[in-house]
Amino acid sequence: MRRNLISRLSTIEPSVATGKAKDLLTAVKGALGIVPNMTKVMVNSPAVLEGYLGLSGALGKGLLDAKTREQLALVTSQENECDYCLSAHTAIGKMVGLTPEEIGEARSGHGKDAHATAALTFARRVLETRGQINNADVAAVREAGYGDGEIAEIIAHVALNVLTNYFNNAAQVDIDFPKVSFAKVG
C-alpha cells in the first residue's frame, strides 16, 4: 500500500501535451478550471482518459444528484483505500454542499437519512460481493425508494470509482488535493 510515493507512470503536463492528449487536457481544464494529476497520468493513453471522462460526464447528467454521487465516490474510495480519490472527493463533496460530518459518515457507509444510507449500503454490497449481489440487496434499495434507473446508476458509480481507485492506487498518482487518508475517518 502506497503513501505519497512518486507516480509510477509519467505525468503529462498540458503545456507539453500534443494531439488528442492536449485536446483532452484542455477540455478538463475548461470543465474544472484545473487539470488534476489523475487526468495528467491517465492521458498517457488518451483512450483511458476519454473513457473515464465519457462515463463520468454521462453519469453527471443522470438521475442521482451531486451529493449522492459524491457520497458514493467516498464510500467506494474508502473501501478501496484510495487516498487520492478520498482527497479529491472530500474537496468536491464540500463544493457540492456536503458537510464534514456527512463526508465522514459517507465514508463509513451512512447517509443523513434512510434514503441516502440505503444507496451507500447497496454500493458497499456491490463492492463486497464484486457485483454478485442478491435479491435482498436489490429489494432493500428499492424499498428505500430507488427505481431501476437509479439502481443502475449506483452500480455504474461504483464501477467508475473502482476504475479511478485502482488507477490511482496502481499508478501511485501524486495527490494534488488537500490530503485525506483512508485510515482516518472523520
**How far is Cα 52 from Cα 161, in angstroms, rounded to an integer?**
10
Per-residue pLDDT at 104: 97
CA 127, 131, 137, 140 torsion-angle sign? positive
Give the chain's domains with CATH numbers: 19-60 (no CATH), 66-171 (1.20.1290.10)
Q: What is the mean pLDDT for each group of 10 consecutive residues in the chain (186 residues)?
A: 68 97 97 96 98 98 98 98 98 97 97 97 98 98 98 98 98 96 72
For residue 25, give the C-alpha cell.
487536457
Angle of CA points 83, 14, 158, to nearest 5°:
35
Instruction: Decide if 77 contacts 172 (C-beta within 8 A).
Output: no
Angle of CA points 110, 83, 6, to nearest 5°:
175
Per-residue pLDDT at 185: 62
pTM value is: 0.94
Q: How many CB atoms lie within 10 A of CB 128?
A: 12
